[in-house]
Chains A and B, each alone.
Chain A
Amino acid sequence: MRGLSLHRSWRLLLIVALLAAAILLPLGQKNYFIYVLTSWLIFTIAAMGLNLTLGYAGQISLAQASFMALGAYTTALMTLAGWHWLVSLPVGLTLCFVVGLVLGYPALRVKGHFLAFVTLAFNTLVFLVLRNEEWLTGGTYGLSGMPRPEFGSFSTDKQLPFYYFTLGVTVLAALGLWAIVRSPWGRAFKALRENPIRAESLGVDTRRFTLLAFAIGSAYGGLAGALVTPLVQFIEPGSFGLAHSLRILLMVVVGGAGYFFGPFIGAAVVILLPEVLRFTEGYYLIIYSALVIVMLVFVPSGLIGIFGKLRARFWPRRQVRADMAEGARLP
């Protein structure tokens, strides 16, 4: 027990240190650097949602970018119409929650690859609607000129305040997800992932939890979208295509699906690493892709899995085999 709480206090210390780093890092930096950090946070939120759907509940989804689109367009249309960001947020989240719930229904019937295709089709559908319904979405030209939110005297017009605003939202979103995954719901989601038939036989309403996994995960996608709009102040359907859903999936897998902090690391790798590799000029995409392949081959449980592997190597836990102990005691 003492070992466990020691582990916990180390983790708390690490979180505080990282949070301090997140606050201090952008100080005195160029706008572009702050912009990249902000998009890291936003994609972390989107990946957190997919991590719940895929990593915890085991339901594959290739439609996370389309929920970012729903959140982004809702925010754009409402803030352009003069509503405050805080008013558009619950509308966007509710919309994503409900649409995510509907998208969850196919998951009650199809699993694995087939479910991947259903969600892929949904992503394409959203993309086509955004491109074709020009009267609402501006078609391929998209929407522009969305204002950034102001909270009293705190204006997010400058890049740095907007970064802190996004950081605050990210922390709240992470706390919300933490509350979900550590509650009995989180246990039910994991049970759904590991053995749905057994979970059902133990009273877990697996239909309800499958739908909730999609709905909550999608709402997180919507939250990320609601932050994209004021960040870039220009949105178009191309920013929410299938390729972006695949990128979010990559973040979850590279970071470590089913690990709470996996999305932070995964989004950092996918968003920040290309920036770090920029000095290699034309080779950076090749190096980046090669690194991702190497990671997936050697650490399939994601980067966060490396810590587990190291711990198992240097501080192995003692396994007690009671049946063997008992066997040894036999006359």
Chain B
Amino acid sequence: MSDPAMSEPVLSVRNVEKSFGGIRAVRGVSFDVRKGEVLGLIGPNGSGKSTLFNCILGQLPPDAGEVSVNGRKVSGMRASQMNRLGVGRTFQQLSVFPKMTVLDNIILAGQEHQGTMLSRLFGPADAGLTEEAERLIAFFRLTHLRDELAGSLSYGQQKLVDAAMAFMAGPGLVLLDEPAGGVNLTMLAHFKERLAAYNVEHGTTFVVIEHNMEFVMSLCTRIIVLAEGAVIAEGTPDEIRSNQTVIDAYLGG
């Protein structure tokens, strides 16, 4: 594997600012993410993680600054356009389609990348994706739930379906917003192992927001710590663990 620091950044965030009234939620945050990296974005509640995420993904327009994916400016782009550029994401809240089967959920996540609007109307019902969807479902070990309605699964299983959808279109970059939230320990270990395996198999770049420290520290290769909307520390999990500024920010020192 080549040195990731040498390659063009997959995601580049430059001086992003966002205020809500008098509150400066994000204050000039900049960072790069290189191909194959698993970047953790952590910080206490209200540190601006989710706002930053939404600014990156076009859910919120940033007041200033620039976001590029593979060198292409994506500020102001619609979420569906970003997805077609190869950016997958999950949401903090569970976001599956409850009245569709697991298989349909996964096929939906890939179908808009196949052909044109018209070819999808007149083409096969599954847009030719059943096999690929089944492979992904098997990867997340959900095969026995293939034909169940997503809404009838347990919370942890739905979380897996939700994550699997973000991978269906074969994205180069996936942003995960609190993937571990509310997932039981058994399921969590399985989930983390699958994410790590996906990263190794496909070289997909990850950005992960997470509160579960154990999850972040063991999954991520690099961590950025936000507090009050600004980056206060950056480094490997070990460096972050022993960083006094980070400890102070978390303990309110």
Q: Would you give the shortest CB distance from B100 to chain A, in whole angstroms?
A: 6
Whether the Cβ atoms of A187 and B99 lie closer than 8 Å is no
* A residues with CB within 8 A of B: 4, 179-180, 182-185, 187-188, 190-191, 194-195, 197-206, 208, 258, 319-324, 326-327, 330
Q: Is B152 an interface residue (CB 8 A)?
A: yes
Whether the Cβ atoms of A183 and B80 lie closer than 8 Å is no
Q: Would you give the shortest CB distance from B155 to chain A, in whole angstroms?
A: 9
Q: Which residue of B lies closest to A1 (CB)?
A: B147
Residues in A neighbouring B97, C-beta threshold 8 A = 190-191, 194-195, 198-199
Number of B residues with CB within 8 Å of any CB on chain A: 47
Q: Report, nearest first, the 8 A-B pairs whose CB atoms are least far apart.
A: A203-B112, A203-B83, A198-B95, A184-B120, A184-B111, A194-B97, A200-B79, A202-B109
Whether the Cβ atoms of B99 and A194 lie closer than 8 Å is yes
Q: Which residue of B lies closest to A320 (CB)?
A: B144
Q: Which residue of A lies closest to B183 (CB)?
A: A323
Q: A182-B125, A198-B95, A200-B79 are in contact. Are A187 and B104 (CB under 8 A)?
A: yes
CA of A291 to CA of B108 in the docked complex: distance in angstroms? 39
Q: Is B75 an interface residue (CB 8 A)?
A: no
Q: Is B73 an interface residue (CB 8 A)?
A: no
Q: A206-B80, A322-B157 are in contact. Are A187 and B108 (CB under 8 A)?
A: yes
Q: Which of B95, B168, B187 has the most C-beta atoms of chain A within 10 angstroms of its own C-beta? A: B95
In the complex, chain B residues 54-86 whose Cβ is within 8 Å of any chain A Cβ:
57, 78-80, 83-84
Whether the Cβ atoms of B100 and A184 lie closer than 8 Å is no
Residues in A neighbouring B80, C-beta threshold 8 A = 200-206
Set A185, A202, A323: member contacting B156, Cβ < 8 A:
A323
Contact with A along B18-41 (1 / 0, CB 8 A): 000000000000000000000000
Q: Which residue of A lies closest to B87 (CB)?
A: A201
Whether the Cβ atoms of B123 and A184 lie closer than 8 Å is yes
Q: Is B186 an interface residue (CB 8 A)?
A: yes
Q: Would you give the shortest CB distance from B88 to chain A, in whole angstroms?
A: 8
Q: Would you give the shortest CB distance from B22 to chain A, in whole angstroms?
A: 27
Whether the Cβ atoms of A322 and B141 lie closer than 8 Å is yes
Residues in A neighbouring B46, C-beta threshold 8 A = none
* 19 pairs, CB–CB < 8 Å, chain A vs chain B: A183-B125, A184-B112, A184-B125, A187-B100, A198-B95, A198-B96, A199-B108, A200-B83, A201-B89, A202-B80, A202-B169, A203-B84, A204-B80, A204-B112, A205-B112, A319-B152, A323-B156, A323-B187, A327-B186
Q: A183-B121, A194-B99 are in contact. Are A202 and B83 (CB under 8 A)?
A: yes
